[in-house]
């Protein structure tokens, strides 16, 4: 017994793009195969597996966890519930870091709270001259990051520890997409499948940013850069923290959605 792909997709109760991604995943075929041949028969076992995944997606589980991967900066990164799903706004952080790195001869870079490793791995692959280190407090996250670096052919040295605790500078550039959502933020309900430790930055969302900005100067070379991603309403607070820690050339950049998302600053 088999059921037609188009009928399954139509009945999934999901945006067509998502339903198609899940069905292609279950059938282990490219998504285009379903567009080219909507009448394609789907065996009963595959249809049942698709129905389960569609149900989990309708219940709010991120598509990336169901597929087991997420595209970031044009590459597929494996993800699981131990890591945050890479976000498009984090590509702004990567672009700014790359612009800085390309002006340096043989830069040393550190990615704090690397999670899936998407930032560190992308920097290593896009800037061959850079030596890239990355840290995370979570061993489960580091396992995902290491596997991504290996599969994508990136040379990144990973360390387990709280922010800068496990690494020794001095670095030319430190990047981080730390947890920055406030503990009581109603937005968290929609993010409940992702690790709280990767999302929540204390009661005001700034705890991790505060810790990083405080610790970074002693690990940055004079004239080195710190680039941090932050929440839509945190830019002014982050700039103030950076000024207080002695940084100069403090600038905030908007993401593709026009939201103040990344603040860059230079160590004195
Ligand atoms: N940008 C994420 C969100 O609000 C949060 C990521 C983070 O805390 N680093 O969905």
Taking the CA of residue 191 as reference, the ligand 1 atom at the shortest distance is: 10
Q: What residue spans define the domains of the chain?
A: 3-59, 82-266
May I ask the CATH class of domain 82-266?
A: alpha beta
Q: Using omega within 30 degrees of 0 as the cis cutoff, is the peptide bond preceding 170 cis?
A: yes
246: left (phi over 0), alpha (psi -120 to 50) or beta: left
Nearest atom within ligand 1 for CA of residue 179: 8
91 Cα to the center of ligand 1, angstroms: 13
Q: Is 181 in the pocket of ligand 1 (CB under 6 A)?
A: yes
Q: What 3-state class would DSSP assign to 264? A: strand
Whether 206 is in the pocket of ligand 1, judged by its Cβ within 6 Å, is: no
In 3D space, the residue among 216, 206, 205, 214 whose CA is nearest the CA of residue 112 turns out to be 216
Nearest CA to ligand 1 atom 10: 191
* Distance between CA atoms of residues 181 and 231, nearest Å: 7
Task: Give distance in angstroms: CA of 117 to centre of ligand 1.
Answer: 15
Indicate which residue's Cα is closest to atom 4 of ligand 1.
181
What is the Å distance from ligand 1's center to 145 Cα? 18
* Strand partners of residue 131: 108
Question: What DSSP element (H or E) covers 149?
Answer: helix 139-152
- Please list, in sequence order, all residues whose beta carbon lies within 8 angstroms of the beta carbon of residue 200, skipping any fewer than 6 positions away: 179, 181, 182, 183, 188
Cα–Cα distance, 125 to 205 (Å, whole number):
31
pLDDT values of the chain reduced to their tens digit, one per residue, 268 residues = 789 999 999 999 999 999 999 999 999 999 999 999 999 999 999 999 999 999 999 999 999 999 999 999 999 999 999 999 999 999 999 999 999 999 999 999 999 999 999 999 999 999 999 999 999 999 999 999 999 999 999 999 999 999 999 998 899 999 999 999 999 999 999 999 999 999 999 999 999 999 999 999 999 999 999 999 999 999 999 999 999 999 999 999 999 999 999 999 999 8
């Amino acid at each position: 017994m088999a059921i037609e792909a188009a009928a399954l997709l139509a009945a999934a109760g999901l945006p067509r793009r998502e339903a198609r991604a899940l069905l292609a995943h279950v059938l282990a075929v490219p998504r285009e195969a379903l567009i080219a041949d909507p009448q394609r028969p789907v065996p009963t076992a595959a249809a049942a597996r698709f129905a389960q995944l569609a149900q989990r997606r309708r219940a709010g589980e991120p598509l990336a966890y169901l597929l087991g991967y997420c595209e970031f900066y044009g590459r597929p990164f494996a993800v699981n519930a131990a890591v945050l799903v890479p976000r498009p706004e984090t590509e702004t952080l990567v672009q700014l870091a790359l612009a800085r790195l390309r002006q340096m001869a043989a830069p040393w870079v550190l990615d704090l709270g690397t999670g899936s490793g998407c930032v560190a791995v992308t920097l290593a692959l896009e800037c061959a001259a850079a030596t890239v280190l990355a840290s995370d407090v979570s061993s489960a996250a580091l396992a995902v990051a290491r596997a991504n670096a290996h599969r994508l052919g990136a040379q990144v040295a990973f360390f387990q520890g709280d922010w800068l605790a496990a690494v020794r500078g001095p670095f030319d550039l430190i990047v981080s997409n730390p947890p920055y959502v406030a503990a009581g933020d109603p937005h968290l309900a929609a993010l409940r499948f992702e690790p709280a430790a990767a999302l929540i930055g204390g009661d005001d969302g700034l705890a991790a940013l505060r810790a990083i900005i405080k610790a970074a100067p002693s690990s940055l070379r004079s004239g080195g850069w710190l680039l941090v991603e932050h929440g839509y309403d945190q830019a002014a607070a982050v700039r103030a923290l950076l000024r207080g820690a002695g940084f100069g050339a403090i600038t905030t950049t908007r993401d593709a959605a026009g939201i103040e998302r990344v603040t860059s600053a230079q160590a004195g």
